Structure 1
Amino acid sequence: MQKTLNYGVIGCGMMGREHLRNIALLDGARVHAIFEPDSEMAARAQEIAPDAVFVESINDLLAEPDLDCLLVVSPNYLHIDQLEEIAQSRPLPLLMEKPLYTDPDHAARIDAIKTTYPAPIWIAMEYRYMPPVAKFLEQLEQATGGVKMLTIREHRFPFLTKVGDWNRFNHKTGGTLVEKCCHFFDLMRFALKSDPVRVMASAGQAVNHLDETYDGEVPDIWDSGYVIVDFANGARAMLELCMFAEGARFQEELSAVGPKGKIEAQVPGPGRFWPEHLGAPPTPQVVISPRNPPGPVALEIPVEDRLLQAGDHNGSTFYQHQKFLAVVRGEGQADVSLEDGAWAVRMGHAAQKSARTGASVIL
């Protein structure tokens, strides 16, 4: 019988509580200790993890003797300092929510941790593990014969309200193309098996949050844009983001094309946002369209109801934790490394810079 693994959790806002609900569904794991400084968020977390110990600081959390691994789900701008505190005090196996850092000047600090941290660090890129995206990635090479063009479209709802409204400002998020889109830049690198060499972007704040103020400041977070990325292997990728398009049937649409054909993944948004008068939310699907003989084939990729109820990411958080726990038990390596997480942020910062300056950015 396997030992039950004990998580220590830092941060229990909206995404943190999704992690708690999914950990509760896993065999052989439980949340043992939580640090959440906001009393309302802590109370909500306690409803999900009633047996967890709530502590007053990260230092107190790291002093808990029975911990086997850590999960960090704090606001973006806190990640680098908390990662360094963990590295210096108790470097346990760590699942770190994205983005890994927010300021380009932090890259050297990440490099220092990469060379010294003695345990696995897994960067939480949930989109890899959504069942329709996982099927898309699994069938990618066979369907396309080698991807030459990759397009990712996300048409979704605006940024939700977070504790302290930290997600309304670039200096706390890293910018939308870091905060929101590092997931997609990670998917690009992973799917194309190559590193980016040039980034071009046009983006800005067109609609959302323009009539809001926080302590006298109007939010500067962007809500829409296009990003084109050239890769070292000759492939090209494009991201299209719109955060005032929550009326769309699918939230994410991925398309890859190569000499043999095309493959698409279509992923609905959170079921809790789907209009009730339209009936059941759409089922995710993958569409494979060969060139010869032509004829698209659509495959429905349903997600278990219990996983849909546990979060907003089509079951991916559950599958990610399953794989992370195997690594904690010594079975394999982290799927998404510190280097992967750093590359995703680097691409986001390059896209932010390109959009600001109007020039392409060479990586």
Structure 2
Amino acid sequence: MTRTINYGLIGCGMMGQEHLHNIALLDGTRVAAIYEPDPQMARAAQEIAPEAVMVGSVADLLAVEDLDCLVIASPNHLHVDQICDIAAMRPLPLLVEKPLFTDPQDAARLETVQRDYPHPIWVAMEYRYMPPIAALIKGLQSTGGVQMLTIREHRFPFLEKVGNWNRFNRNTGGTFVEKCCHFFDLMRLILGSDPVRITASGGQAVNHLDESYDGETPDILDHGYVLVDFANGTRAMLELCMFAEGSRYQEEISATGQLAKIEALVPGPGRFWPDHLGEPPVPQVIVSPRNPKGPVSQDIPVDPRLLAAGDHNGSTYYQHQGFLALVRGERAAPDVTLQDGLWSVRMGLAAQQALATGEAVRLT
């Protein structure tokens, strides 16, 4: 009989609750303990995982004996201290939400963790596992070798979070870090190379301008472009707009090579799709060869149970399948390493710097 794997969760706001829902779909798992300091979020988490012990600190969580692994889904700026506390007190296999860090000075602390941590650390990059994006990645060979990659996300504004922490760059690392590290991770994965040069343009044109928190107006971007040159000669572009929730598809990814183009079309969360428009759009992958010409479309439907368990097109479940196999010793390494997480934030921080200075940023 397969042994039950016991999880501890740190942070159970919107994303933490999505993790709870998806862990519950996996056989042989149990959420043993939760640390969530906000009373409202803690009550919601307890309803999802009624058997979990609610604790008052990270130290209290780590004192729970029957833990096999941990998930960190706290606000961005808390991740590094919590990772270091876990490393010092009780290292366990760890799934940590993106972005891995927000302060450039914390990269060195994480590199020390990477060197000394005795268990695997998996950085949560859910977009890799969205079924249409996974299908695009699987079909990249049809391009004959990707030379150009375009990622467009046209979506809704930032949602409200506990204490409105996500309204300020000092907590998020900036929109190109908070929102876009997923896409920088995809760029490195799809192009098989590291970035060498980043330029960016963007601003805050529409969202959050009439909001005030303790006398402060939010300073996060709501739109922008980022251009990235890679060491192997390929290049990628990101287009972000966070006041375009009327779009049919939220993400549109296009990878083009000498033989063909392959695209993935990903709808946004079903709960935001207007009822009067009927059923939400189905994800698609489209392959457009140069010879013979003619696009070939394929629907990539997602299990309704997985759609109901979160806002990420079923990807959180597939990510947890992989992490559970890692914890059980059924696979040797995480899909998304600490180094991958470090790179995705470095790229986001470089884009923020390029935007602020108006100059290209070179990465080594």
TM-score bracket for the superposition, by shorter chain length:
over 0.9
Write out per-residue CA displacement over residues 306-363 of structure 1, whole angstroms, 9 at most, x where no aligned residue.
Answer: 0000000000000000000100111221000000000000000000000110000000
1:344 match? 344
* Residues 159-174 of structure 1 aligned to structure 2 (within 5 Å): 159-174=158-173
Query: Is 1:54 aligned with 2:33?
Result: no
1:24 match? 24
CA distance in 2 between counterparts of 1:289 and 1:358 reads 36
Letter in 2 for 1:269: G
TM-score (norm 2): 0.99
Following superposition, the deviation at residue 294 of structure 1 comes to 0.7
2:110 match? 110
CA distance in 1 between counterparts of 2:210 and 2:19 reads 32
1:37 match? 37
Write out per-residue CA displacement over residues 108-159 of structure 1, whole angstroms, 9 at most, x where no aligned residue.
Answer: 111111100010000000000000000000001x221000000000000000
Secondary structure of the residue aligned to 2:146 is coil
Secondary structure of the residue aligned to 2:7 is strand
2:235 match? 236
CA distance in 2 between counterparts of 1:227 and 1:42 reads 37
Secondary structure of the residue aligned to 2:268 is coil
2:89 match? 89
Letter in 2 for 1:324: F
1:287 match? 286
CA distance in 2 between counterparts of 1:216 and 1:125 reads 34
Letter in 2 for 1:41: M
TM-score (norm 1): 0.99
CA distance in 2 between counterparts of 1:331 and 1:232 reads 34
Write out per-residue CA displacement over residues 44-63 of structure 1, whole angstroms, 9 at most, x where no aligned residue.
Answer: 01110011010111101001
Letter in 1 for 2:36: E
Letter in 2 for 1:107: A
Query: Is 1:98 aligned with 2:106?
Result: no
Letter in 2 for 1:30: R
Secondary structure of the residue aligned to 1:148 is strand
2:184 match? 185
CA distance in 2 between counterparts of 1:237 and 1:355 reads 17
CA distance in 1 between counterparts of 2:330 and 2:122 reads 14
CA distance in 2 between counterparts of 1:172 and 1:352 reads 14
1:220 match? 219
2:269 match? 270
Secondary structure of the residue aligned to 1:212 is coil
Letter in 1 for 2:212: T
CA distance in 2 between counterparts of 1:331 and 1:346 reads 31
* Residues 188-207 of structure 1 aligned to structure 2 (within 5 Å): 188-207=187-206
1:3 match? 3
2:135 match? 135
Letter in 1 for 2:191: L
Letter in 1 for 2:153: E
Following superposition, the deviation at residue 204 of structure 1 comes to 1.3
In structure 2, the gaps of 5 or more residues are none
Letter in 1 for 2:354: S
CA distance in 1 between counterparts of 2:90 and 2:53 reads 18
Give the length in aligned residue pairs: 362
* Residues 324-343 of structure 1 aligned to structure 2 (within 5 Å): 324-332=323-331, 333-343=333-343
Query: Is 1:150 aligned with 2:135?
Result: no
Query: Is 1:125 aligned with 2:125?
Result: yes
CA distance in 1 between counterparts of 2:268 and 2:142 reads 25
CA distance in 2 between counterparts of 1:354 and 1:165 reads 26
Query: Is 1:353 aligned with 2:353?
Result: yes
CA distance in 2 between counterparts of 1:349 and 1:86 reads 25
Secondary structure of the residue aligned to 2:70 is strand
**Identity between Structure 1 and Structure 2 (%):** 71
CA distance in 1 between counterparts of 2:185 and 2:243 reads 23
CA distance in 2 between counterparts of 1:91 and 1:125 reads 21
Secondary structure of the residue aligned to 2:20 is helix
CA distance in 2 between counterparts of 1:296 and 1:132 reads 16
2:306 match? 307
CA distance in 2 between counterparts of 1:320 and 1:171 reads 28
CA distance in 1 between counterparts of 2:361 and 2:203 reads 17
CA distance in 2 between counterparts of 1:281 and 1:295 reads 26
Following superposition, the deviation at residue 91 of structure 1 comes to 0.7
Write out per-residue CA displacement over residues 203-224 of structure 1, whole angstroms, 9 at most, x where no aligned residue.
Answer: 1111100000000000001110
Letter in 2 for 1:24: A
2:78 match? 78
CA distance in 2 between counterparts of 1:269 and 1:143 reads 26
